[in-house]
Amino acid sequence: MQNQLSILVLAASGKTGRRVADRLAAQGHAVRRASRSGDTRFDWDDRSTWASALDGVDAAYVVYTPDLAVPAAAGAITEFVKIAKAQGVRRLVLLSGRGEVEAQRCERIVQESGLEWTIVRASWFAQNFDEGPFAELVLAGEVTLPVADGVVEPFLDVEDIADVAVAALTSAGHAGEVYEVTGPRLMRFDEAVADIAAATGRELRFVPIPMEAFRAGLDEAGVPAELADLYEYLFTTVLDGRNAHVTDGVQRALGRPARDFREYAREAAARGAWDVSLARATTADTNV
């Protein structure tokens, strides 16, 4: 039986944090669920909330929102690591973004911390289609995104991220590992939308649009400039082909293959994720 650990989970209401916290609690660990509005308050923009969240925990699952690629991330991660060490934290598991130079700068800060560490470097989340920024587009029946012809991405089920993170937080053998985790196959965005259409029985279209039109839509919707800049970066720089390959990170970490996008789509459809009458608000934890 595993020793019970006290573990801080950041972004505990987000796509990965919620699943990580639930798994840890089911295993009997003492989970401290932290978010801007949770019982344990943690706000990356308010450093006065960090020390109390870290006090007395053995390990932490670290999710920087909105993304490690934003300019403020490196300074925040540096200070977070310093406070974590001072509070006696022994192990950090960092959720990172695949193909992001800026994110890798933050990874190095954790790697050079002197603490036990594991990096979970993830591809775009499958759950962005039902819990994230693409959900409303799917519900509307037309997914309009600034994706060029031929762009492919190995969409990753966040259930796999949660399993990898929990293993790294609680089990031996994962310290010092960089797990670059992807889904099992490369997919075009229209193929992903077609899989969702097949799972739901609905007619769905994928429509590529110019970045200028996409950015104008974000501005019209009142999306903050920093977040709009991040989306533009992700759809241009990160989707420039650098990530057009699958990896074995899930297999290395868990001894099993990554879940396929079709399995994700079928399960999401079965629970009503794209039922217009049951449409729900999207969550935070933006990572793609």
* Tens of pLDDT, residues 45-68: 999 999 999 999 999 999 999 999
pLDDT tens digits, 205-218 = 999 999 999 999 99
Residues contacting residue 286 through CB under 8 Å, at least 6 positions apart:
65, 66, 67, 132, 133, 227, 230
User: Region 184-212: what's the mean pLDDT?
Assistant: 97
Percent pLDDT > 90 in the chain is 93
Model pLDDT for residues 118-151, shown as the tens digit of each residue: 999 999 999 999 999 999 999 999 999 999 889 9
CATH homologous superfamily of domain 6-126+155-183+244-259?
A: NAD(P)-binding Rossmann-like Domain (3.40.50.720)
Q: Does the pLDDT value for residue 281 go beyond 90?
A: no
Q: Structural domain boundaries of the chain?
A: 6-126+155-183+244-259
- Mean pLDDT computed over every residue of the chain: 94
Assess whether pLDDT exceeds 70 at residue 21. Answer: yes
What is the tens place of the pLDDT at every residue in 62-107?
999 999 999 999 999 999 999 999 999 999 999 999 999 999 999 9
- Only one residue has tokens 């790294």, namely 168
